[in-house]
């Protein structure tokens, strides 16, 4: 079976569409709500879902996502529970799911076991933000054998030679970080975004998705005018945190309405 990520982007390319990829933390506020959100956001037009694997020492994540990881871990969310939730989702939900997590989570379980468990659960790709290019080859080869995408991140501060190497090796899609620093909402996106994405296209055949700082429909319009997808994380996670203690249905409805506005901004 073709990887869901590849199939989704191929379909979007054929139709001239672009992708919205919401990020949500697995287990915030609980795994039942996470599963309900995945189903709802997919139904509202999210092309892919990025699922954060909570970890006590997150990498490049601002205070909003760090707080969500703390809430998820405090609520008892663990890796086996997250994999079980995704496996149960696959009974009626076919949206592509990428899992973002620290390399420490991978090495603690063992690379082979982690990738086997992710694949068997129904995860389609992994994003390991602290995986160095020097350690990349072994993980990439193991992921390829399991038909798992291994998505690389390129920062605006990456020297071009290194950025090109990352872009060339990434599968599924390339994650371009739109701004320097940690995740979080911004009022404006950098002007050099257009030129940087255009240059990255020369180095890779996979779709390019842009994340960090995207929170408004106008951001989605700006990003998807040049890239293949927009990734929205902190703005969603903050809203979930603001709704802490609310009924699950209210959380899902509120986040769904926000994501629907973002989907409506796609070309």
Query: Phi/psi zone of residue 60: left (φ > 0), alpha (ψ -120 to 50 degrees), beta?
Result: left
Q: List residues bridging with 151 in a β-sheet.
A: 127
* H runs (alpha helix) in the chain: 4-15, 31-43, 63-74, 79-89, 103-109, 111-121, 133-145, 160-169, 193-201, 217-224, 234-242, 248-264
For tokens 């796609």, name the residue: 266
Let me know if 81 is a catalytic residue: no
Helix (H, G, I), strand (E, B) or coil at 65: helix
Joined together, the tokens standing for residue 248 give 């699950």
CA–CA dist 208, 49 (Å, integer): 15
Sheet holding 174-177, edge to edge: 149-151, 125-127, 97-100, 49-52, 19-25, 229-232, 208-211, 174-177, 153-154
Is residue 103 within 8 A of residue 126, CB to CB? The reply is no
User: Can 50 be counted among the known catalytic residues?
Assistant: yes
Options 61, 117, 124, 228, the catalytic residue = 61
Active-site pick, 50, 117, 124, 228: 50
Residues with catalytic function:
50, 61
């Amino acid at each position: 079976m073709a990887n869901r990520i590849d199939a989704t982007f191929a379909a979007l390319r054929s139709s001239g569409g672009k992708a919205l990829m919401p990020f949500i933390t697995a287990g915030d506020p609980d795994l039942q709500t996470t599963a309900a959100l995945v189903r709802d956001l997919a139904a509202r037009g999210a092309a892919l879902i990025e699922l954060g694997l909570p970890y006590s020492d997150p990498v490049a994540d601002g205070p909003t996502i760090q707080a969500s990881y703390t809430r998820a871990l405090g609520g008892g969310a663990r890796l086996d529970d997250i994999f079980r939730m995704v496996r149960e989702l696959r009974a009626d939900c076919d949206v592509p799911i990428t899992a973002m997590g620290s390399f420490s989570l991978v090495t603690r379980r063992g690379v082979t076991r982690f990738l086997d468990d992710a694949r068997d659960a129904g995860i389609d790709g992994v994003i390991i933000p602290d995986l160095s290019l020097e350690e990349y080859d072994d993980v990439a080869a193991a992921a390829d054998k399991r038909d798992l995408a291994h998505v690389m991140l390129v920062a605006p501060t990456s020297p071009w030679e290194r950025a090109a190497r990352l872009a060339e090796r990434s599968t599924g899609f390339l994650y371009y970080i739109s701004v320097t620093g940690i995740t979080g909402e911004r009022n404006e996106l950098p002007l050099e975004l257009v030129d940087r994405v255009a240059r990255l296209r020369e180095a890779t055949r996979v779709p390019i998705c842009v994340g960090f700082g995207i929170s408004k429909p106008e951001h989605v319009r700006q990003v998807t005018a040049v890239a293949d997808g927009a990734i929205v994380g902190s703005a969603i996670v903050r809203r979930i945190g603001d709704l802490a203690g609310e009924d699950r249905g209210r959380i899902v409805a509120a986040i769904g309405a926000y994501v629907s506005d973002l989907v409506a901004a796609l070309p």
